[in-house]
Amino acid sequence: MSYVYVIDEERHLLGVLSLYRLLLSPPTTPVVDLIAPTTIRVRATADREVAARLLTDRNLLAIPVVDDDDHLLGIITEDDVADVLLEEAAEDIERLGGSQPLEVPYRLASLPLLVRKRLPWLLLLFVAGAYTGTVMQAFQAELAQAVALAFFIPLLIGTGGNIGSQTVTLIVRSMALGEVALRDIAWIIWKEIRVGLALGAIMAVIAFGRAVLLGVGNDVSAVVAVAILAISLWSATVAATLPLILRRIGIDPAVVSAPLITTLVDGTGLVIYFETARVMLAL
C-alpha cells in the first residue's frame, strides 16, 4: 500500500495518508480528515540503526525523518534500511572476530590499515592472556604432585572458551535484534545457568570417560569431570552477562568478542580446575 506524508505550510509533519483511502473518499473530503495523525517518525539526530529497527519492526515501507521542530526533512525507505542493517551486521561480525571494522572494502585495504585495525585487539588479548602463565606458576606445586592434571588443560580451557563464544554470540545477536535488554539480565542468567549445566554435564561424562581411557585413575578423572562442569557453567554465565553490562555503561557489546571471552575464560578456568584438584585430591 502506498502512502503520502501530509505537511502544513511550514513543513510540519501532520500525518500520513494512504492512497487507497484517498481514492475511496468523496472528492470534497478535506485531506486533514483522512490522515492518520499518529505517524511514526524518527529524528534526524537519531542513530541510523534506530531508524532501521523502527521500520523493520513495524513492517513499514518508509519512515519520515523530521527535525526537532517536527519539520519534514525526508524519508527512509526499506532499501535504505537493508543497506544500513547489512553494514551494521558486517561491523558486528568484525568486532566479534576481534578486529575493528574496516571503512573500506577488504580488497582495497592496505597492509598498514589491516595491521592498525587488528593490533590493538591482539595486544589487549596478549596482555589478558599473560595471566594464564601466572596461574600456572601459582599452582606449580599441585602440578608437580599430580602431573596427569596437565594432560587435560587444553581440553578444559578449550571447552570453556567454546561455550563462552557460543553464548556471547547469541546474546549480542539477540541484543542487536532488540530481543533482550538489561532488564532481562536475571532471566538470561537463569536460562544460561541451566544451559551451562546441561552442556557441562554432557561434557563431564565424556571427559570422565576420556580420562579413564588414558589411565590416569578415577580420582583425576573425577576432578576433570567436576572441573569441566564448573567451567561450562562459569563460561556461559559470564558470556551472557558481560554484553548487557557493557551496553549499560555505554560500550558497544559487540566488543565482547569471542577471542576476549576465550582469553578471560582460559585464566579463570585454570583457577577453577586447580582449586577443584586441590580440594578433591587434597593436594
Question: pLDDT averaged over consecutive 10-residue blocks of the chain (283 residues)?
Answer: 73 75 75 71 76 73 80 76 64 59 68 74 68 71 75 86 85 78 88 92 92 86 93 91 83 68 82 89 75
Helix (H, G, I), strand (E, B) or coil at 102: coil
Look at the domain 3-84 and name its fold. Answer: CBS-domain (3.10.580)
Cβ pair 64, 39 in contact under 8 A: yes
What's the CATH number for 134-281? Answer: 1.10.357.20
| Exposure on the CB side of residue 89, measured as CA atoms within 13 A | 11
What phi and psi values does residue 96 have, to the nearest 5 degrees? -65, -25
Cβ pair 168, 92 in contact under 8 A: no
Q: Tell me the H-state helices in the chain.
A: 19-24, 48-57, 78-96, 111-138, 140-145, 153-176, 185-213, 218-248, 258-281
The CATH 3.10.580.10 domain(s) of the chain lie at 3-84
pLDDT at 108: 74
The CATH 1.10.357.20 domain(s) of the chain lie at 134-281
d(CA 157, CA 136): 13
d(CA 74, CA 199): 50
pLDDT at 103: 65
Hey, which residues does 63 pair with through a beta bridge?
A: 76
Kindly report each contact of residues 46-52 with a partner whose C-beta sits within 8 Å and lies 24 or more positions away, as own/partner.
48/84, 49/84, 49/85, 49/88, 51/76, 51/81, 51/84, 52/76, 52/80, 52/81, 52/84, 52/85, 52/88
Is residue 70 packed enough to be buried (19+ CB in 10 Å), middle (13-18) or exposed (0-12)? middle
User: CA nearest 245: which of 256, 232, 258, 234?
Assistant: 256
